[in-house]
A and B are shown apart, each in its own frame.
Chain A
Amino acid sequence: MKKVVLSLLVSNHFGVLTRVTNLFSSRGYNIISLSVGETENPKFSRITIVTSDDEAIINQIKLQCAKLEDVKAIKEIKENELYMREVVLVKVRVSYMKQEDFMNFVAANKADAKLIEDRLYMVEICSGTQAIDAFIDKLEMFDIVEIARTGGCALSMSTSTVYDEE
C-alpha cells in the first residue's frame, strides 16, 4: 500500500466533484481526504485527493480520472516535493484551573485561539496532517466540544505544476 497525493485540474462547474468521487466509489478506490477549490483561473478548480493502494491501482486511478471529460490534468505530487496543508477548527471548553496551561499550549503550537464566550474558545491551526493529528491528541487534555477539519490541499515544492501534465 502506498499513500499518494493527486492533484486534479478540473472544469469549474457543478457536478464535476460528483463525477470524480463517483468514479472512486464505482471502481472501489479509496479516498483518505479530499479538498476542492477555485484556482487562479476561474474556469478551473483544483481537487486534491489523498488515496492509498498498491502501485497498479494508483496507476489505474490516474488513468481512469484522466478519461473524465472534465478532468484537464492530473499530477501525482511525489513525497519529496509535497507541500500539503490542512486547516482544523476546534471548539474547546477550558476549565478555570487550566486557563494558563491552555494559553501556553496554544502559543507553543503556533495555533490561534479566539474567545467565543466565557471559557469557550475557537482554536485553529493550519499545518500538515500528522502535526494536526498530534495537535488534536494533545488538545484532548481540555474539553473538546466539536471539530471541523478540511482535507489537505497541496502543491509541489518545485518548479513543476499541474499544467505540465495538460
Chain B
Amino acid sequence: MMLNGSQILIQSLIDQGVDTVFGYPGGAVLNIYDALYEKKDQLRHVLSSHEQGAAHAADGYARSTGKTGVCIATSGPGATNLVTGIATAYMDSVALVAITGNVASDLIGRDSFQEVDIAGITMPITKHNFIVHDVKELASTVRLAFEIANSSRPGPVLIDIPKDITAAVCEYEKLPKFEKRPLPSVKESAMKQAIAAIRRAKRPLIYAGGGVIAANACEELLAYSRKTQTPICCSAMGLSSVPYDYELYLGMIGMHGTPVSNYASLNADLVIAIGARFSDRVAGNRKKFANAAEIIHIDIDASEISKNVKSDIAIVGDAKEVLQALIQKVEEEHHSEWRQTLLDFRIKIGLPKPKEGNKVDPRDFIYTLHKLLGEDAIIVTDVGQHQMITAQYYQFSKPRSFISSCGLGTMGYGLGAAIGAKCAHPDRPVVLITGDGSFHMNMNEMAVAVSQNLPIIVLVFNNTVLGMVRQWQTLFYGRRYSETSIMRQTDFVKLAEAFGAKGFRIKERDEIEPIINAALASKRPCIIDCLIDPDDCVYPIIPPGKNADEIIYGN
C-alpha cells in the first residue's frame, strides 16, 4: 500500500496500540493533522491549550495506565514548549513518545521560520531521539521509539520529522506491535548474597520507589513483605504501590516523610531498595543515609546502583521477577521486636495532627476527600506544599492512583496530567490538588477540560503565597519573604465560570463535604477555591543536605 509519511505515522501509531494522542497543530505538522483527520475514529486527538499541557497530558495518561503517552507538536516553539513535559517524564521514568514536525529538509540549518534543533535540545532529557531523514525509515522508527521508551527503565523518546518527509510517499508495510527488549538475567551470586543478608537481618526495611509501580510489582512487594514481615516505606514516586491500611506500611520516607519511616531508616540493619534511586529528597546526606544498614539495591537500571548511596548487594533486574524469585527463596520471618519498636514509635510520633477549629486545614481536607471519593479516585498534584501534604495524608489504595512530578518538581504539571488521566479513565474520579502558585502556571488547560467534557475537580489550596518557597524563607532565610507573597487577585470561581466550568469556594471546614459532593454531582469540570493559612508549614522536614537524625517534627 502506498502511503505518505503522515499517513504512515498515524497508521504506525495505531499499529503500536495507541488510541489517544495529545497535541497541537501548526505549520510543520499540517500534513500529519490532515492524515489524522482521516483516522479520527481510530485515534482520539485531545487538543491542548499549549504544547506543555499536551506533554503533561500524555505523561498523566501514561502514568495512570502503564501505556505509552503520545504527544504531537509543530516545529520551533511547538517543539520547545514540549521540553518541560519531556524532562518531567524523563526524571520520573515515564514512557512517552513525543512527535515533532520540523521545517522541510532543504530549509534545515538555515534559521528558517519556526526552525529549532529539537533533537539537540532534547538530547539530555530523552532516552533517545530520532530525526527521520527518509520516509522509508518512518514506520520502523516509530516502532523502535516505542520499544526504547518501554524497554528496561521507561522514559521519553522524541521523533522529529521534517515536513517533506510527512508528504513523501512510499510503500507501507504494517509492522507488528513493539516488544520490550529482554533483560540480562539476574546474577545468581547477587541473589544468594541478598538471601543471606535477609536471613541475617533483625531490623529490615523496604524502601520502594516508582520502579515497583512501573514493573507492576505491587502484589509481589506485598507478598514479600508479608512473608518476611518487613515494613515498607515509599519514595514519593512509590506512593500508591502499597495500600495505606497495610499494617507494615510506614508511609513516605525522606525530606517530608513520616517520622516512623525516617526513624526506621536510621535504625534498620538492612534496607532493601526496590526501583528507587536514593534521590536527595530521600537521602539528603548520601554519606550518612541508613548508615547502620546493609543495603540491597534492586533496580532495572544498572547505572542506578551506587550512583547516590553505595549499596552492598546489587540486583539488576525487573522488580517483579526479582521479587517473585526472592519470595520463593526466603524463609518466613517474624521480626516482632522490630515491628513493635516501629509501632511504638509511630504511636509516640506521627504526622502533625490537623488543627482544630473551623478554618480549613488541608490535612483533614485530604482525609475527607479520600472518604468522599472512595478507593477508585486518581489523585493528581502540582508541586509545592499541597503536593507534600497530599503525599503525606492521602490514603492510597491502588497503584497508579497518585500522579505527581516528583523528580523534576514541575509546577504547572498537574492540570495537563489530570486531563491525560481522565481521558484514560473516564469512569474514575480524577482530582487535581494544586496550589494557587502552581495553578496559575498552566490553568489555560482548563479550557481543554471543558471543551473535551472532562469532569475533573481542581482543588486549589489558596494561601495567596508560594507556600513551599515561603516556608524555606521562614525556616532558612530569616523570614525575608522575597517575591513569595504573590497576592494575585484572581477570583477562581469567576475564572471557572469564564472557562465554562463550575466554580466553588470553601472558606470553612464544614463546607468541605457539601461542596465536594456538589462538585462530584455536577459531573462537570470544577474549580474549588479553598482558602488556607499562608503561614502553614509542611512538617516534618529534614533540612536539605541533612540526615534523618536532624528531622524537625514541627509538632
User: Which residues from chain A sit less than 8 Å from chain B, CB to CB?
Assistant: 15, 18-19, 22-23, 26, 56, 59-60, 63-64, 66-70
Contacts A26-B124, A56-B310; A67 near B119 (Cβ below 8 A): no
Cβ-defined partner of A59 (8 Å) among B124, B127, B306: B306
Can you give 5 A-B contacts (C-beta < 8 A)?
A19-B123, A22-B123, A60-B303, A66-B303, A69-B127
A69 with B120: CB separation less than 8 A = no
Cβ-defined partner of B128 (8 Å) among A18, A22, A23, A69: A69
Cβ-defined partner of B148 (8 Å) among A15, A59, A69: A69
User: What residues of chain A lie closer than 8 Å to B127, measured between beta carbons?
Assistant: 67, 69
The docked-state distance in angstroms from the alpha carbon of A59 to that of B306 is 9
A67 with B303: CB separation less than 8 A = yes
- Does any Cβ of A come within 8 Å of B513's Cβ? no
| B197, chain A: closest CB distance, angstroms | 21
User: What residues of chain B lie closer than 8 Å to A67, measured between beta carbons?
Assistant: 127, 301, 303
A22 with B306: CB separation less than 8 A = no
Chain B: CB-nearest residue to A22: B123
A18 with B120: CB separation less than 8 A = yes
B124 with A22: CB separation less than 8 A = yes
User: What residues of chain A lie closer than 8 Å to B306, measured between beta carbons?
Assistant: 56, 59
B123 with A63: CB separation less than 8 A = no
**Which has the most chain A C-beta neighbours within 10 Å: B148, B301, B302, B305?**
B302
Chain A: CB-nearest residue to B301: A67
- Does any Cβ of A come within 8 Å of B307's Cβ? yes
A60 with B307: CB separation less than 8 A = yes
**Which has the most chain B C-beta neighbours within 10 Å: A59, A66, A67, A68?**
A67
The 10 closest A-B pairs by CB, nearest first: A63-B303, A69-B128, A26-B124, A22-B123, A64-B303, A63-B302, A22-B124, A67-B303, A19-B123, A60-B307
The docked-state distance in angstroms from the alpha carbon of A56 to that of B307 is 8
User: What residues of chain A lie closer than 8 Å to B148, measured between beta carbons?
Assistant: 69
**Which has the most chain B C-beta neighbours within 10 Å: A18, A22, A68, A69?**
A69
Chain B: CB-nearest residue to A67: B303
Q: Digit string of B307-325 for contact with A (CB within 8 Å is 1, else 0)? A: 1001000000000000000
Q: Digit string of B191-218 for contact with A (CB within 8 Å is 1, else 0)? A: 0000000000000000000000000000
Chain A: CB-nearest residue to B155: A67
User: What residues of chain B lie closer than 8 Å to A66, measured between beta carbons?
Assistant: 302-303
User: Which residues from chain B sit less than 8 Å from chain A, CB to CB?
Assistant: 119-120, 123-124, 127-128, 131, 148, 301-303, 305-307, 310
User: What residues of chain B lie closer than 8 Å to A63, measured between beta carbons?
Assistant: 302-303, 305
| A102, chain B: closest CB distance, angstroms | 46
User: What residues of chain A lie closer than 8 Å to B128, measured between beta carbons?
Assistant: 68-70
Q: Is the interface of A mostly helix, strand, loop or mixed?
A: helix
Chain B: CB-nearest residue to A25: B124
The docked-state distance in angstroms from the alpha carbon of A66 to that of B316 is 14
The docked-state distance in angstroms from the alpha carbon of A158 to that of B433 is 61
| A14, chain B: closest CB distance, angstroms | 9
The docked-state distance in angstroms from the alpha carbon of A153 to that of B307 is 29
Q: A15-B131, A18-B123, A22-B124 are in contact. List 13 more A-B contacts (CB 8 A).
A: A15-B119, A22-B123, A23-B124, A26-B124, A59-B306, A60-B303, A63-B302, A63-B303, A63-B305, A67-B301, A67-B303, A69-B127, A70-B128
Chain A: CB-nearest residue to B128: A69
The docked-state distance in angstroms from the alpha carbon of A66 to that of B124 is 15
The docked-state distance in angstroms from the alpha carbon of A19 to that of B305 is 22
User: What residues of chain B lie closer than 8 Å to A56, measured between beta carbons?
Assistant: 306, 310
| A73, chain B: closest CB distance, angstroms | 14
The docked-state distance in angstroms from the alpha carbon of A120 to that of B258 is 75
Chain B: CB-nearest residue to A69: B128
The docked-state distance in angstroms from the alpha carbon of A67 to that of B181 is 13
The docked-state distance in angstroms from the alpha carbon of A23 to that of B128 is 12
The docked-state distance in angstroms from the alpha carbon of A69 to that of B310 is 26
Chain B: CB-nearest residue to A19: B123
User: What residues of chain A lie closer than 8 Å to B131, measured between beta carbons?
Assistant: 15
User: What residues of chain A lie closer than 8 Å to B124, measured between beta carbons?
Assistant: 22-23, 26
User: What residues of chain A lie closer than 8 Å to B119, measured between beta carbons?
Assistant: 15
The docked-state distance in angstroms from the alpha carbon of A69 to that of B141 is 13
| A68, chain B: closest CB distance, angstroms | 8
Chain A: CB-nearest residue to B307: A60
| B137, chain A: closest CB distance, angstroms | 12
| A136, chain B: closest CB distance, angstroms | 35
The docked-state distance in angstroms from the alpha carbon of A15 to that of B133 is 13
User: What residues of chain B lie closer than 8 Å to A26, measured between beta carbons?
Assistant: 124
The docked-state distance in angstroms from the alpha carbon of A69 to that of B312 is 29
The docked-state distance in angstroms from the alpha carbon of A67 to that of B148 is 11
| A53, chain B: closest CB distance, angstroms | 14
The docked-state distance in angstroms from the alpha carbon of A26 to that of B124 is 7
User: What residues of chain B lie closer than 8 Å to A15, measured between beta carbons?
Assistant: 119, 131
| B401, chain A: closest CB distance, angstroms | 30
Chain A: CB-nearest residue to B303: A63
| B6, chain A: closest CB distance, angstroms | 24
User: What residues of chain B lie closer than 8 Å to A19, measured between beta carbons?
Assistant: 123
| B277, chain A: closest CB distance, angstroms | 13
Chain B: CB-nearest residue to A59: B306
The docked-state distance in angstroms from the alpha carbon of A19 to that of B120 is 9
The docked-state distance in angstroms from the alpha carbon of A64 to that of B127 is 11
The docked-state distance in angstroms from the alpha carbon of A128 to that of B511 is 79
Chain A: CB-nearest residue to B125: A26
User: What residues of chain B lie closer than 8 Å to A60, measured between beta carbons?
Assistant: 303, 307
User: What residues of chain B lie closer than 8 Å to A18, measured between beta carbons?
Assistant: 120, 123
User: What residues of chain A lie closer than 8 Å to B305, measured between beta carbons?
Assistant: 63
| B152, chain A: closest CB distance, angstroms | 8
User: What residues of chain B lie closer than 8 Å to A69, measured between beta carbons?
Assistant: 127-128, 148
The docked-state distance in angstroms from the alpha carbon of A18 to that of B120 is 9
Chain B: CB-nearest residue to A68: B128
The docked-state distance in angstroms from the alpha carbon of A70 to that of B120 is 15
User: What residues of chain B lie closer than 8 Å to A68, measured between beta carbons?
Assistant: 128
Chain A: CB-nearest residue to B148: A69
Chain B: CB-nearest residue to A56: B306
| B126, chain A: closest CB distance, angstroms | 10
The docked-state distance in angstroms from the alpha carbon of A106 to that of B540 is 72
Chain A: CB-nearest residue to B310: A56
| B307, chain A: closest CB distance, angstroms | 6
The docked-state distance in angstroms from the alpha carbon of A15 to that of B148 is 18
**Which has the most chain A C-beta neighbours within 10 Å: B128, B131, B148, B310?**
B128
User: What residues of chain A lie closer than 8 Å to B302, measured between beta carbons?
Assistant: 63, 66
